[in-house]
Structure 1
Amino acid sequence: MAATARGSVGEIRAADVEAAGLAAADAAAFLAALRSATGKYGGDAAAAWAAVVAAGVLRPDHPHALHQLVYYSVYAGWDRAKRGPPPYWFPSPTDCKQTNLGRVMEQNGPKLLGASYKDPISSFALFHKFSIENQEVYWKIVLKELSIKFVREPTSILDAPDKSKKGGTWFPGAVLNIAECCLLPWPSQNKTDDSTAIVWRDEGFDDYPVNRMSLKELRTQVMTVANALDTMFQKGDRIAIDMPMTCNAVIVYLAIILGGFVVVGIADSFAPQEIGTRMRVAKAKAIVTQDFIIRGGKKFPLYSRVMEGTSAKAIVIPATGDRLGVTPRNGDMSWKDFLSRAAGRSSMYSPVYQSADALINILFSSGTTGEPKAIPWTQLCPIRCGADTWAHLDVRPKDIGCWPTNLGWVMGPIQLFSCFLNGATLALYHGSPLGRGFCKFVQDARVSVLGSVPSL
């Protein structure tokens, strides 16, 4: 039963606690503990809530409605417009110093901020201001945290006077291949060839051990696909991906970029007309897809939608096993035949190095208000993704990150680069994220950073 928040924590009565689901016999003791924890803090709502947490007044077995009653009553007078969301969790000073930002602030704060630096919490706003006003200094620090290999270093972080580009030019003069950056061992992240790059499980195999792919195995497979692409396409060609975010999808994505081609992301839920529109807008030369989609124990056609939506060459990957469940039309080819084109070529592959603002990926707006709008991604975008998740999600080496998504939506590339550039492992569930199987995978894979959406 829902309980209405009071104007202050002091106004909570036994009837409110009972309405929130606590037994009448426990209400008096709970109220006494609550008032003991919050009584001396007056109008300091954050301190009062911190005291509630520290005293263990609310327990995991208490009804969720009770947690809400206390939280919203404590923060009833909180000005969200001026102060932001009211804090719920208060990390310890030790926890703060062990985060990515906390560690960097402890190392650099005294030198950069002088006597004004106190600790990661007290000095956070000051350090944030410094990062905005001193971009050259801040970004040089962050770039050392990510696995970014510049073949040619940028002449500066930001060329603000560059009037040819709104907002200036970031990393002017830099040359790199961002896919290669994802595939290299990186000593400062303790990332070696034997490190686990991807952990995954197929739907229906929920009681089997999770599968693992090492960094070396990932790099080898990406290079094989890049070699095969070279036999069919010219540098700069746009190649679409329309399939679930599986290991093969990730391999193809990185291979396209490694080879100097451009990914066109198309969500696997789209109807033929929507597929065709995106292929036309992006001027895609080919599309990599699956024969079917396996979700919730059911098989849904995908290749048939692709065939109806575009006449471009399709490379078709089997959803399960090694054999296709469909017959490719004339001009299309199976995954097996595609990979055979790399036979006889070197097992190694020389990445195509380009400027930092070179195009690598074309994403699209949803198209709900008209024709979908192309959204270009350059090599700068993955760097920003890696830096943002390093700072705001605290993604670290040895983390295991999982976010059910798709390479046709922006979260797919964000998740991929956020893991690989920070030395973390990418976790993929080949199936529906709506059931027990996905939850068990999260548990078995030991996912440490989980993303979701409200509908899940």
Structure 2
Amino acid sequence: MKPAVTMDQLMEKGLDREASLRFLNQMQNIFSRCATPEQAWSAISRDLISDQYAFDIHLLVYNSLFPDRESRPESAPAWVPAAESIASANLTKFMSDLGMDDINAFHAWTVSQYQNFWSRIVKKLGIVFDKAPDNICDLSQGKEFPVWFPGSRMNIINSCFTAPGSATAIIYEDSHKNLIKLSYDELDRLSNRVANSLIQSGINPGDAIGIAMPMNHYAVAIYLGIIKMGGVVVSIADSFSSEEIAIRLKIAHAKAIFTQDFTHWGEKYFPLYEKVSHCRSLPVEQNDMQSFRIIVTPCESRVTLALHESDKSWESFLVDSDIFTPESCLPMSPCNILFSSGTTGSPKAIIWNHTTPIKAASDAFFHQNIQAGDVMAWPTNLGWMMGPWLIFAALINHAAIALYSGAPKDRAFGEFIQHARVNMLGVVPTLVATWRQSGCMENLDWHTIKVFSSTGECSNAEDMFYLMFLAGYKPVIEYCGGTEIGGAYISSTVIQMNYPSLFTTPAMGMNFAIIDENGQPASTGEVAIIPPSIGLSTQLLNADHYQVYFEHMPKSANGEMLRRHGDQIKQLPGGFYSILGRVDDTMKLGGIKTSAAEIERTLAGLPDILEVAAIAIPPANNGPNLLIIYASTAAALNKQDVMKEMQKKINLHLNPLFKIHDIVLTTELPKTASNKIMRRILRKKYLETM
């Protein structure tokens, strides 16, 4: 092999002649020992390229080794696992206990022998039962409605506290940027106080209690405490408007909600209690909407706001008793209500039960390779599934959660990751693109990071390569699934070569088919999940579960039942996969799943705008979706003025994280005979202009 990089190219990237010559000689020395580009890149990324060289030089070398990577991404691994890393991985050890060494054969076994698989997972993860199950799964109601661990009793929170009590459970910063560590014992006692306080406040097992606040150590303890006492958490993102919070409280019939007095974002403080309290004055049809209670935690040292007479500050709510025996529940009992927009205007209320967290913990064990004592960080919120996922994935696997209270887009976040000695860092692709644009995370000491993970939206390969560069080339585990799955249906592993933005394997214990518009097997098409699996939802609070996921679905090529999911996916040579986005009108903006209907509803009523249609367009170089608004009007309007007004409405009434990329003013929107807007036509039309 010979270096394809030239002296001129290196000098164009900022190296002087002497440094360029030295670099080429070192490359040649490495190339002389390597037979393949994969071996060469592995050696170069480990021994030659370091943070003393700008990212552009890293990318130049990588592209020279894999010149076809854009057309054949499966030919360009950016990380090759070392033999010792493979040998020590959770997945390798688990397979070895079964006498297996082939990951494809193992995955097939986890699906075909799913009862045996989940039985072994329960033991490996130390899942605690108050009463042992009669068996693993009862399918007497059909694969659409499996009953996991029939005959048993449990509370999944018991399985979150099997680590040594002195082990670190949470790491966070105080207001002076000092690292604070909360042990498993301390977190257990704090969540016990929450459980006791709820019962003393008149909350009963089975009651729904909302959480709309930043994901800090209070939020984690509150989440655990609600489930401990047999309650059901209603997960609501604190970024939502009062209207959206009220809708979710109404759907769940919440008796109370935890929030925070203010949120701190950058240098600004935003009133959160005021926003939540405003729900009481909104015209939401719910009998007890006027009387639900709010418990307010402090953004800083204590709550100083004047509260409504029915509300309580954290200090006045919390009792001293820190001993509590978790409520024993049926495994299929609800423990968390999360919301996914789907394609209708009303958010879809998905129920997690006490078995769903086993899926999250299992995925983290096999795919992110989380081990006892690791530190996991993932900027997220309890309003999105990755918040609860992070709690269960970490605590059930005896790891620690690193929580950052500020904006993760600035260098201060990177310094927190460095100081907390994070081992697994989760991201959404939009965040990485922001880091790359600003360069704010460069030249930090992220050597403790063993693995990244990316979810929430389609990622850009070059951005993911940049993310790997920030930690001296560590793998990025792509992770794609959904709230109704409790984790992923497809992911990657640390025992396989890692390719930016590609998936390498279906999630262990779960399988899927790819079908075309006629329901036939295809290499590019819609994802359909093959049940059963722990994690798959079995009920919706405000919709017919069978109708949403199973009605009118075809059978697989092998005659298996298929469950609707809606992602569009492409299978590449060698068994790799690339996610192409959603096949329906659901979209992900800034890592958050929403629907065209929600956006259109929010934008209704603008002067001189007759109708609007929201679509999501993938950018030319892949990556996160772009929000495009088509608006029909008979008047001559200024496009920029309209766009500004639309963005203002979205910020105020829906979510300030949703940014409009472009608007198109038109006289009419294309519709079907039944008067439904044909967004597919609009997408095609807009793509033709790009």
TM-score under structure 2 length normalisation: 0.57
Whether 1:267 and 2:246 are equivalent positions in the alignment is no
Residue 376 of structure 1: how far off its partner (Å) = 1.4
Match of 1:417 among 392, 396, 407: 392
Give the equivalent residue in structure 2 for 1:193: 165
Whether 1:50 and 2:42 are equivalent positions in the alignment is yes
Give the equivalent residue in structure 2 for 1:151: 130
1:252 partner amino acid: I
Q: How far, CA to CA, are the matches of 1:134 and 1:80 in structure 2?
A: 37
Give the SS at the match of 1:430.
coil
Cα 1:226–1:130 shift into 2, 3 Å: same
In the TM superposition, 1:312-351 aligns within 5 A as 312-322=292-302, 324-339=303-318, 342=319, 347-351=322-326
Relative CO higher for 1 or 2, CA cutoff 8 Å, sep ≥ 6? 1
How big is each residue's C-alpha offset from its partner over 1:352-386, in whole Å with a ceiling of 9 and x where there is no partner?
Answer: 12222211111112589622221211122211101
Whether 1:405 and 2:374 are equivalent positions in the alignment is no
Cα 1:347–1:415 shift into 2, 3 Å: closer
Whether 1:99 and 2:85 are equivalent positions in the alignment is no
Residue 258 of structure 1: how far off its partner (Å) = 0.6
Give the SS at the match of 1:127.
helix
Residue 236 of structure 1: how far off its partner (Å) = 0.8
Match of 1:21 among 1, 6, 14: 14
Q: How far, CA to CA, are the matches of 1:154 and 1:74 in structure 2?
A: 54
How big is each residue's C-alpha offset from its partner over 1:87-139, in whole Å with a ceiling of 9 and x where there is no partner?
Answer: 22222211211121123234x143xx4xxx4xxxxx33333333233323333
Give the equivalent residue in structure 1 for 2:53: 62
Q: How far, CA to CA, are the matches of 1:86 and 1:375 in structure 2?
A: 38
In the TM superposition, 1:285-324 aligns within 5 A as 285-310=255-280, 311=290, 312-322=292-302, 324=303
How big is each residue's C-alpha offset from its partner over 1:19-54, in whole Å with a ceiling of 9 and x where there is no partner?
Answer: 343333343443454355446867x54344335446
Cα 1:131–1:289 shift into 2, 3 Å: same
**Among the aligned pairs, what percent are the same residue?**
35
Give the SS at the match of 1:212.
strand
How big is each residue's C-alpha offset from its partner over 1:124-168, in whole Å with a ceiling of 9 and x where there is no partner?
Answer: 333333323332333333223323101223333344x43444174
Quick check: 1:275–1:306 contact (8 Å CA) kept in 2? yes
Give the equivalent residue in structure 1 for 2:77: 87
Cα 1:85–1:152 shift into 2, 3 Å: farther
2:186 partner amino acid: E
Quick check: 2:63–2:69 contact (8 Å CA) kept in 1? no
Give the equivalent residue in structure 2 for 1:182: 160
Q: How far, CA to CA, are the matches of 1:199 and 1:26 in structure 2?
A: 42
Cα 1:354–1:40 shift into 2, 3 Å: same
Quick check: 2:190–2:221 contact (8 Å CA) kept in 1? yes
Give the equivalent residue in structure 1 for 2:543: none
In the TM superposition, 1:372-383 aligns within 5 A as 372-383=347-358
Q: Which runs of 5+ in 1 are unaligned?
A: 1-7, 118-122
Give the equivalent residue in structure 2 for 1:438: 413
Residue 256 of structure 1: how far off its partner (Å) = 0.7
Cα 1:357–1:17 shift into 2, 3 Å: same
In the TM superposition, 1:377-396 aligns within 5 A as 377-396=352-371
How big is each residue's C-alpha offset from its partner over 1:209-237, in whole Å with a ceiling of 9 and x where there is no partner?
Answer: x2122222221221121112113122211
Residue 445 of structure 1: how far off its partner (Å) = 2.1
CA RMSD of aligned residues (A): 2.7
Give the SS at the match of 1:409.
coil
> Which deviates more from structure 2 when the two are superposed, residues 445-454 or residues 45-54?
45-54
Q: Which runs of 5+ in 2 are unaligned?
A: 281-289, 432-690
> Which deviates more from structure 2 when the two are superposed, residues 234-243 or residues 15-24?
15-24
Aligned residues: 420
Give the SS at the match of 1:289.
strand
Cα 1:22–1:171 shift into 2, 3 Å: farther
Give the equivalent residue in structure 1 for 2:149: 171
In the TM superposition, 1:132-143 aligns within 5 A as 132-143=111-122
> Which deviates more from structure 2 when the two are superposed, residues 364-373 or residues 399-408?
364-373
Cα 1:318–1:33 shift into 2, 3 Å: closer
Give the equivalent residue in structure 2 for 1:238: 208
Cα 1:446–1:37 shift into 2, 3 Å: closer
2:188 partner amino acid: R
Give the equivalent residue in structure 1 for 2:188: 219
Give the equivalent residue in structure 2 for 1:120: none
Quick check: 2:38–2:80 contact (8 Å CA) kept in 1? no
Residue 335 of structure 1: how far off its partner (Å) = 1.9
Cα 1:370–1:18 shift into 2, 3 Å: farther
Q: How far, CA to CA, are the matches of 2:3 and 2:372 in structure 1?
A: 45
Structure 1 or 2: more helix by fraction: 1
Structure 1 or 2: more strand by fraction: 2
Cα 1:194–1:35 shift into 2, 3 Å: closer
Cα 1:14–1:335 shift into 2, 3 Å: same
1:102 partner amino acid: T
Give the equivalent residue in structure 2 for 1:5: none
In the TM superposition, 1:113-132 aligns within 5 A as 113=100, 117=101, 123-132=102-111
Give the equivalent residue in structure 2 for 1:249: 219
TM-score under structure 1 length normalisation: 0.84
Q: How far, CA to CA, are the matches of 1:419 and 1:271 in structure 2?
A: 30
Residue 79 of structure 1: how far off its partner (Å) = 9.0
Q: How far, CA to CA, are the matches of 1:265 and 1:236 in structure 2?
A: 15
Cα 1:316–1:66 shift into 2, 3 Å: same
Q: How far, CA to CA, are the matches of 1:17 and 1:333 in structure 2?
A: 63
Q: How far, CA to CA, are the matches of 1:86 and 1:329 in structure 2?
A: 59
